[in-house]
């Protein structure tokens, strides 16, 4: 099985701090063989390859345990730790996002769909906080994993729609900007 070197390199940079959900995100973002969820065999192959590179965070056996601990079949966003059953595999993103956003080029559609799923700021995201808008990192992860853009391309698109007035950044007290649509 061929593994994506950029996914491996990015995961390796996290070293011992790599989480199962982060590995899923990197695989979904970089590996062109992944379309709708990461099959467990592929995930285990990445874990084994990282173990061979000396990254001692998670081997394939531990990966199975972690997947089961945070696994959900929920169709919408649960929380920042959830790992979603999607298709025949696992994903860092809920099935609804795959259904509605896979291949989508319009980043504003991502903002709208994710914002709706976060229930107006009531659900926790990776920043550990709730609030209006979509955390920029979550948005960039979703756009680069499900859409046609690289992470840098996703950043450029977010900046473009911000400059055009379709979204606004809410930086408040968190260094993690939140993106909110300006239309209702």
Residue 25, exposed/middle/buried by CB under 10 A (0-12, 13-18, 19+)? buried
Count of beta carbons in the 10 Å neighbourhood of residue 141: 21
Measured distance CA(184)–CA(27) in Å, rounded: 34
Full set of structural domains in the chain with CATH: 5-95 (no CATH), 103-181 (1.10.10)
Pairing of strands 178-181, 134-135: antiparallel
Measured distance CA(97)–CA(77) in Å, rounded: 9
Structure tokens at 96: 């609804």
pLDDT in tens, 18-75: 888 888 999 999 998 888 889 989 988 998 898 888 886 666 677 777 777 888 999 9
> What is the pTM assigned to this prediction?
0.86
**Per-residue pLDDT, 128:** 44
Percent helix / strand / coil, the chain, rounded to 5? 50, 10, 40
pLDDT in tens, 78-133: 888 899 999 889 999 999 999 999 999 999 999 999 988 887 545 556 554 556 78
């Amino acid at each position: 099985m061929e593994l994506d070197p950029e996914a491996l390199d990015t995961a390796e940079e996290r070293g011992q701090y790599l989480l199962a959900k982060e590995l899923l995100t990197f695989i979904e973002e970089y590996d062109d063989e992944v379309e709708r969820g990461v099959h467990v065999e592929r995930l285990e192959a990445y874990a084994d390859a990282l173990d061979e590179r000396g990254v001692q965070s998670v081997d394939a056996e531990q990966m199975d345990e972690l997947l089961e601990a945070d696994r959900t079949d929920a169709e919408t966003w649960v929380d920042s730790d959830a790992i979603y059953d999607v298709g025949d595999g696992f994903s860092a993103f809920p099935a609804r996002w795959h259904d509605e956003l896979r291949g989508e080029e319009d980043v504003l559609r991502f903002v709208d769909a994710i914002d709706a799923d976060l229930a107006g700021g009531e659900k926790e995201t990776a920043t550990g906080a709730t609030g209006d808008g979509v955390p920029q990192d979550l948005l960039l992860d979703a756009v680069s994993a499900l859409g046609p853009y690289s992470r840098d391309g996703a950043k450029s698109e977010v900046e473009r729609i911000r400059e055009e007035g379709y979204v606004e950044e809410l930086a408040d007290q968190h260094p993690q900007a939140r993106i909110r649509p300006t239309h209702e």
